[in-house]
Structure 1
């Protein structure tokens, strides 16, 4: 009987804590990405907090960009560290505003949240990856974001031509 009262009291206290945390404003992080590829783990300790994180990156020439993001979880304690929503979108800076380039598919639910996508060919310029979501774990939640540029076909052609020239030089040297 005493145990059930303590359990009920803990449940009520946890419910009040969740309600108070739900009234908090969005948490924002901004990351300046150096060169690609780039990977960053982001964690939150407040439960039921919505977040919008921004990763700034630039492309010096046209390239496809691969983006991957996934929730950090614990299989032993699945509700301890959890996200209930996770979404990522790519925007290009145009003047003083941003234009949506790729709209990622939002992940939601009680399963582990993860996704990856390829933006297709993006021109040289400044871009942001915006990752949004909601933390629902008792102890918080987190995710890992990865951004990588994929070389253009012309870069592969130049590499093959260079290897051909090196192979020709080695063969010619052996013949002499």
Structure 2
């Protein structure tokens, strides 16, 4: 690639970054990354796959994966769903979390506005899971009110939570794992 192509790519990337981060209230220079890695769980006394959010050089545990679903192991679910969180962040839809039904299964997804349609499917739940309970726990974890990561082991009304990700990440407890 020549210098003009690289310059054009850098300018395009900077413009795209400012468009994506503007709705979240996060400065262009702030980097938010969702990662999946093992984390020691004190309740089970073993490492479990965990979705973390990495922000300002610190990671915060978001979801600890314990159960298999649809033939996928906790590690496979962690990897796939962590990618979905990153996609939702990148496309600017992580501002609103909601619960719903897709393909006759309870889900957690994102919307771009209160009352809006699902934009990014974050996670499919087991039929016995209460999507509202998981949504409440996830909203608490993302808002810095939770005491730890959501444990995915747990006719529901639909709710929407608006998440100010920058504010939440500044308040959320830092993981020592």
Question: Which one has a larger percent strand, Structure 1 or Structure 2?
Answer: 1
- What TM-score, normalized by structure 1, do the two folds share? 0.25
Relative contact order higher in (CA < 8 Å, ≥ 6 apart): 1
- What TM-score, normalized by structure 2, do the two folds share? 0.25
